Structure 1
Amino acid sequence: MHEPARVEQAVEEPVREDRFPHERVVNFCDAVFAIVITLLAIELRLPGGELIERMGADQAWGQTLGLLVSYLISFFVTGLFWVGHMLTWKHVRRVNGKVVWLALLQLFFVVLMPFATRQVSEHFLVYALVLTGISLFSWLVRRTVVQQEDLRARLGPAQARLLLARGLIPLLVFSSAVPLGLFVPGKWAVLVFVLIFPLSTLARRRILAGGD
């Protein structure tokens, strides 16, 4: 008499895996990005009289200009990662432990951005490694979301490939800057970052032109 109830209970038993509230994970990530992008501006300050007297006006203002350029680059690079974060997480319906830990590993490198920004001129390799770490785990999160959310079926194969390609291009560009930074001054090596935009446009055209 009670057999159907037991069968129904067995069918409705949840899958044994960690589940997390989507909103809390997204809000936490957004908060980290917001704090990091704010901290980037902490190093910005006009040269004081003591610095000018010690270094000379030209060198002191040159250092300030270098910090400003580093800030602008890091601001837009961090913004690029945040946009990619939103493009990925808008498709997430199930947040499990794998996605959470990959996101945390991405944030591990994101919070190093203020530190890495101070190293652009003298230690560009550090900057490039931090950007490579962010883009690596950003792409791993995206690949995991495409698989577990079955985005090839939900969005179509072309849109799913485009989503993966848009995450892979920054990884390729930033990782290529690592060996480049060993031979080229940082102020010139950062120019390779510009390749992200034409490569992304080219990938979009080729993938969408190919269709499903």
Structure 2
Amino acid sequence: MIQETYDKARVVNFSDAVFSIVMTLLILEVGVPSIATLNKLSFGAVLANRIPDFIGLVVSFLVSALYWIGHIKLMKFVSVVTGKLLWINIFFLLTIVLLPFSTAMYVNGFDYPGPFMFYCINLAVIGAFNLIMTRYVYYSENKKTGFIRVLYRWYRARAINVLIIWVLAALCTLVFPMFARMIFVFLFVVQFLIDRRFKKKMTLVE
């Protein structure tokens, strides 16, 4: 039976479009003050009231950017887009599309654990689909496109890092809510350490 395949360029372009739309929509969750509000409050007070909005924007935008960069790097090693990979990518993008909604839930219910937990679960599920896609590409390509084992372990480590951090944040929400909201910082710290470790390994391979 001949396996149906799809145009890689169209899949990549569609994915890029989804990312660009999602990352743009995030700014819409930062409420623009009305003239009445500006007349009533000082400009500093208006900005202070929107601190949760800007936190949600920055965190979601940077996390989306990391996933987009990871998607670009991973698709470079794809020679053929199979039906299975296409659907994994579609479900991955579905979780990305949900991000503006979960971000809005988070910033509008900034002092409540439920909305933040939903936000963390959204990001954790994105990480899970990213991990699934990384694994599928590695084993389906079978090193044909240069996706060697050390690169796969590098990408897998980054995907697992994101998944673990957001699962921990969700679990900590009910017990240590303030710590849970700051735990995302470890995402970038751990990723920096992962990248430094695997860059050394790549140097030895070369």
Output the TM-score relative to the length of structure 2: 0.83
**Alpha-carbon deviation of 1:201?**
3.1
Residue number among 100, 111, 115 corresponding to 1:114 in the alignment: 100
Distance 1:152 1:169, change over 3 A: farther
Deviation at 1:59, TM superposition (A): 6.7
Secondary structure at the aligned position of 1:151 is classed as coil
In the alignment, is residue 195 of structure 1 matched against residue 181 of structure 2?
Answer: no
Give how far 1:197 is off.
2.4
Q: Does 1:131 align with 2:123?
A: yes
The 1:191/1:156 distance shift into structure 2, 3 A limit, reads: same
Query: 1:69: Cα distance to partner?
Result: 2.0
Q: Does 1:90 align with 2:76?
A: yes
The Cα of 1:170 is off from its aligned counterpart by 0.8
> Is the Cα contact below 8 Å between 1:18 and 1:97 reproduced in 2?
yes
Q: Is the 8 A contact 1:116 1:127 kept in 2?
A: yes
Could you tell me which residue of structure 1 aligns to residue 137 of structure 2? 145
Pick closer, same or farther for the CA change 1:136–1:47 going to 2, 3 Å. Answer: same
RMSD, aligned CA: 2.5
- Distance in 2 (CA, whole Å) between partners of 1:184 and 1:51 is 34
The corresponding residue for 1:168 is 160
Structure with larger Rg:
1
Number of the residue aligned with 2:60: 74
Match of 1:100 among 86, 102, 126: 86
Using the TM superposition, give the Cα deviation of residue 91 of structure 1 relative to its aligned residue in structure 2, in angstroms: 0.6
Q: Aligned partners of 1:64 and 1:201: how far apart in 2?
A: 30
- Give the alignment's TM-score, normalised by structure 1: 0.81
The count of aligned residue pairs is 196
Displacement of 1:127: 0.6
Aligned position for 1:182: 174
1:104-127 CA-partner distances (Å, limit 9, x unpaired): 111111111111111221410111
Check 1:199–1:152 CA distance in 2 against 1; reply closer, same or farther (3 A cut).
farther
8 Å CA contact 2:89, 2:133 repeated in 1: yes
Of 2, 14, 19, 2:5 maps to 19
1:154 aligns with 2:146: yes
Q: What residue is the counterpart of 2:19 in the other structure? A: 33
> Percent identity at matched positions?
29
Are residues 48 and 208 of structure 1, via their aligned partners in 2, closer, same or farther at CA, if it must alter by over 3 Å? closer
**Amino acid in the other structure paired with 2:98:** L
Task: Work out whether residues 151 and 160 of structure 1, in 8 Å CA contact, stay in contact via their aligned partners in 2.
Answer: no
CA 1:51–1:95 in 2, change beyond 3 Å: closer, same or farther?
same
Distance 1:81 1:153, change over 3 A: closer
Counterpart residue identity of residue 128, structure 2: L
Q: 1:11 is matched with which residue? A: none
Q: Structure 1: where are the runs of 5+ without partners?
A: 1-14
| Deviation sequence 1:78-103 (CA, Å, 0-9, x none) | 11111111111111101111111111
Q: Residue 66 of structure 1: CA displacement? A: 1.9
Deviations 1:1-36 (A, max 9, x none): xxxxxxxxxxxxxx5222111011111111000100
Whether the aligned pair in 1 keeps the contact of 2:78 and 2:137 (CA below 8 Å) is yes
The amino acid across from 2:146 in the alignment is: R
